[in-house]
Structure 1
Amino acid sequence: MADHPYRLDGELIIISVKLRGKLGSYNGKFVLDTGSSAIIIDHEIASDLGYSAKDGIGFSTVRSAVGKEKGYRLQIESIESLGQKTGSIEVRCHDLKEQGVEGLIGMSFLKQFKWCVDPEKQIISVK
């Protein structure tokens, strides 16, 4: 297993992520969220990668403390994080600025690998 450091922001686990799209790549810091079934990115990041709602493959709705928020789903070229890289993968695009995060890495990415979080050492081991 390879070890990858993370940092905490309060109780949130923050990991490095590289997204690749039509116009290049984006390096960011995303929340690792095992409670999310999907990968969610801010719609402005999607725009930086060359995508808009016109490229969407469907609609997306997320529930938050303030209610339901609508967005769209799209395929991006790849995501790289924790030493793992996907091929084309679906992400959901929403306005995340109010939450103060760039994105969430959910189970649609994490379920592809064996991994373990060590809170004492602040590392994520991935196999």
Structure 2
Amino acid sequence: MREFNFELLSEEDVIIVNATILNKFKFRLALDTAATHCTIDSNVLYFSGYELKNSKGELEIETANGIIIVERYDIEKIDCLGITKNNFEVQVYDFLSHGIISDYDGVIGLNFLKDNKFCIDIPKKEITIDI
């Protein structure tokens, strides 16, 4: 079992976790238990060395703010919360061109966590994961 601490400065804050692609590009994801899939900003993909032209195709998804169209990509290796996924499909969206500016670069969805038992302890500000 692994433990990860997080900060919540106010009730409006989201839980932010660190992630890496190919053990070299580090970025931050919001832990979103309502998200079914991982979605990352296209800039993360680009700076990780991926060609944006190599999309597997578009997908229409529903978000809290309405329907958006994302691109699908296979990430060779992504690590987050002590979990490593190889050849893992992520949804990619161009945050900046759609006016999205935030402290994080996407969301980690339940498809990333589905093979692990995890607990989010808000009072302790701790995430525990059976790996």
Asked if these proteins are the same fold (TM beyond 0.5), I'd say yes
Matched, 1:110 2:113: yes
Letter in 2 for 1:42: D
Amino acid at match of 2:15: I
- How many angstroms apart in 2 are the aligned matches of 1:65 and 1:81? 24
Q: Choose from 110, 122, 127 the match for 2:125.
A: 122
TM alignment of 1:28-107, pairs within 5 A = 28-64=27-63, 66-97=65-96, 98-100=100-102, 101-107=104-110
**Structure with greater strand percent:** 1
In the TM superposition, what is the alpha-carbon distance from 1:65 to its structure 2 partner? 5.3
Query: Following TM superposition, by how much is the alpha carbon of 1:96 offset from its aligned partner in structure 2, in angstroms?
Result: 2.4
AA in 2 matched with 1:4: F
Displaced runs of 4 or more, over 6 A: none
Q: Deviations over 1:52-102 (max 9, x none)?
A: 342111212233455422221000111111111111100011022415130
State the alpha-carbon separation in 1 of the partners of residues 25 and 66 from structure 2.
Answer: 29
> 1:52, 1:69 → 2: CA distance?
21
Shift in Å, 1:48: 0.9
CA distance in 1, matches of 2:83, 2:65: 34
Residues 1:13 and 2:15 are matched in the alignment: yes
Matched residues, number: 124
Question: Does the 8 A contact of 1:5 with 1:122 survive in 2?
Answer: yes
Residues in 2 aligned to 1:82 and 1:110: alpha-carbon distance in whole angstroms: 9
Secondary structure in structure 1 of the residue aligned to 2:15: strand
Mapped partners of 1:111, 1:56: distance in 2: 24
Distance 2:50 2:69 in 1: 17
Where does structure 1 lack aligned partners over 5 or more consecutive residues? Answer: none
Contact 1:53–1:72 under 8 Å retained in 2: no
- Provide the aligned C-alpha RMSD in A: 1.9
